[in-house]
Amino acid sequence: MRVLFAGTPAVAVPSLDALVKAGFDVVAVLTRPDAPLGRKRIMTPSPVAARAEELGIDVIRAAKVDAETTAKIAGFAPDVAAIVAYGGIVPPAALEVPKHGWINLHFSLLPAWRGAAPVQRSLIAGDDVTGAVTFQLEEGLDTGPVFGTLTETVRDEDTAGDLLERLSVSGAVLLCQTLSAIDAGQAVPRPQAGEVTLAPKLTLEDGRLDWLQPALALHRRSRGVTPEPGAWTTFEGQRIKLEPVSLRSDVTDLAPGAVRTAGKAVLVGTGSHAVQLGRIQPAGKKMMSPADWARGLAEPGKVVFE
């Protein structure tokens, strides 16, 4: 089976590796163009592009699947296209190119969390279980019939990065199984059933911690936005980056946003009980322990996060 693989970030790399290892003929990779990274803004290939080049696979770099990109895809005559977090819409003309269409590996239990940030939104919402599905890509947003499903228990301290890493590995196996079933003529897609929820791409504002909210909501949000876009708050008008906070149900006398040191721990009041800070990065400085940050405060007992 001739496979076009479409993907961009690191979470798509295990699927590419798995397809190659399983013996599929990956004829080309479609990925987003190189992007500037780091303080020096050096143009850098996507993780999928870098891996494809290591494997000696032809790479199509495209910000969108337009007529030119569609023609390039058709030139490789794929039997099927496998897509994992490519980051762009596939229009009808391109959907029709492969004989078996496009098979999407999506990191949620569809129809829950349709969209660009399913794992992040699932954590913020407090889901106990998530998973991944393979489904037939169509014009609607993650609406196509499902071929295969796997589930994954959400651990208490999982960040979005942790959960995505696990799902990227197990999902790669599911993708290979789905393509094998399609190749053998044994795949049976089933319509999605259940409540639809949406998972739009996260913005910087999604990472802001509102200390008036309950501690549990802040705990979930701080994990859901880690590593990107990251949790943050403001102090004296400046944005401070935060690693995920942990729950401290034994402390209930702090006002929302009020900060207190307790040995090496730094606690912050919320709309319910306190949370304990993880590492913290003040503006213009490196990430540091909360105790080191607190030692640098002129009046630590009067600090209030905004």
Q: What's the CATH number for 204-302?
A: 3.10.25.10
pLDDT per position as a tens digit, 100-129? 999 999 999 999 999 999 999 999 999 999
pLDDT at 281 over 90: yes
Measured distance CA(33)–CA(56) in Å, rounded:
18
Residue 218 contacts by C-beta under 8 Å, 6 or more apart in sequence? 209, 210, 211, 245, 270, 275
pLDDT per position as a tens digit, 175-234? 999 999 999 999 999 999 999 999 999 999 999 999 999 999 999 999 999 999 999 999
Measured distance CA(108)–CA(149) in Å, rounded:
9
Please state whether 256 falls in left (phi above 0), alpha (psi between -120 and 50) or beta. Answer: beta
Q: Residue ranges per domain, the chain?
A: 2-183, 204-302
Ramachandran angles phi, psi of 55, nearest 5°: -85, -5
How confident is the model at residue 39, as a pLDDT? 77
pLDDT per position as a tens digit, 52-89? 999 999 999 999 999 999 999 999 999 999 999 999 99
What homologous superfamily does CATH list for 2-183?
A: Formyl transferase, N-terminal domain (3.40.50.170)
Contact 131/109 with Cβ under 8 angstroms?
Answer: yes
Mean pLDDT along residues 270-281: 97
pLDDT per position as a tens digit, 141-156? 999 999 999 999 999 9
Q: Which secondary structure element, helix H or strand E, spans residue 265, and what is its range?
A: strand 265-268
Q: Which secondary structure element, helix H or strand E, spans residue 84, and what is its range?
A: strand 80-84
Measured distance CA(182)–CA(100) in Å, rounded:
8
Contact 78/97 with Cβ under 8 angstroms?
Answer: yes
Buried b / exposed e along 139-171 (16+ C-beta atoms within 10 A): eeebbbebbbebebebeeebbbebbbebbbeeb
Measured distance CA(170)–CA(166) in Å, rounded:
6
Type of residue at 209? L
Measured distance CA(134)–CA(110) in Å, rounded:
9
Q: Which secondary structure element, helix H or strand E, spans residue 222, and what is its range?
A: helix 215-224
Closest CA to 246 of 209, 211, 274: 274
pLDDT category of residue 300 using cuts at 50, 70 and 90? low
Please provide the average confidence, as pLDDT, over all residues in the chain: 96
DSSP-assigned letter for residue 256:
B
Measured distance CA(225)–CA(234) in Å, rounded:
16
45: three-class secondary structure by DSSP: coil
Closest CA to 49 of 59, 39, 41, 40: 59
